């Protein structure tokens, strides 16, 4: 086999590998919490970290801040890479009304849509799992210490 043919075969094989690997990465990042299996995986992963301590800026698994927790849970459960901060997670995902929340949706808190300071993951029945000063806990999305600004569905 001549060297030009060998180079062509190697180039085609390399291009095919890059194409198929790239497609897998894109498909992986388009996952969302719309199915019950995906939501169950997210909630199971989040439950595995109940009680883990809160540390500002921490991304797990031995400690978390709020957005580090949601980022970690989505990555571990679904292979989805969320943005790092609560504000960036709010800005980069499709907004949904609080009335149409599904398990696995993200819920956001702060003084306004431009000033998001906290994020949690909705688990149904008006509750979320989040990382806050008491660690990773389950709590109501409606409380006197949080101002619910909005919600978003990842990947929709």
CATH number of the domain to which 98 belongs = 3.90.1720.10
Q: What is the residue range of 23's domain?
A: 1-30
Q: Specify the pTM.
A: 0.78
Catalytic residue of the set 32, 49, 65, 130: 130
d(CA 51, CA 41): 19
Which residue has better confidence, 50 or 12?
50
Residue 66 bears catalytic tag: yes
Residue 49 bears catalytic tag: no
Question: Quick one: DSSP state of residue 60?
Answer: S
112 and 133: one domain?
Answer: yes
53 and 91: one domain?
Answer: yes
67 and 8: one domain?
Answer: no
Question: Quick one: DSSP state of residue 99?
Answer: G
Report pLDDT digits (tens) over 88-113: 999 999 999 999 999 999 999 999 99
- pLDDT value of residue 35: 87
Residues forming a β-bridge with 120: 107
CB 28 within 8 A of CB 76: no
Residue 37 bears catalytic tag: no
Report pLDDT digits (tens) over 132-141: 999 999 999 9
2 and 75: one domain?
Answer: no
119 and 49: one domain?
Answer: yes
141 and 84: one domain?
Answer: yes
CB 146 within 8 A of CB 133: no
- How much is the mean pLDDT over the chain? 84
Please tell me the total count of domains within the chain: 2
């Amino acid at each position: 086999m001549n060297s030009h043919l060998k180079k062509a075969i190697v180039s085609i094989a390399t291009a095919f590998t890059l194409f198929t690997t790239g497609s897998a990465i894109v498909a992986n990042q388009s996952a969302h919490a719309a199915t019950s299996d995906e939501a169950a995986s997210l909630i199971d992963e989040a439950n595995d970290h109940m009680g883990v301590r809160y540390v500002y800026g921490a991304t797990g698994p031995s400690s978390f801040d709020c957005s580090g927790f949601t980022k970690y849970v989505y990555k571990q459960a679904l292979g989805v890479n969320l943005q790092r901060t609560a504000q960036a997670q709010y800005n980069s995902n499709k907004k949904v009304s609080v009335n149409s929340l599904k398990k696995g949706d993200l819920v956001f808190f702060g003084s306004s849509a431009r000033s998001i300071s906290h994020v949690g993951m909705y688990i149904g029945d008006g509750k979320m799992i989040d990382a806050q000063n008491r660690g990773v806990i389950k709590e109501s999305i409606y409380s006197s210490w949080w101002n619910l600004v909005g919600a978003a569905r990842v990947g929709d």
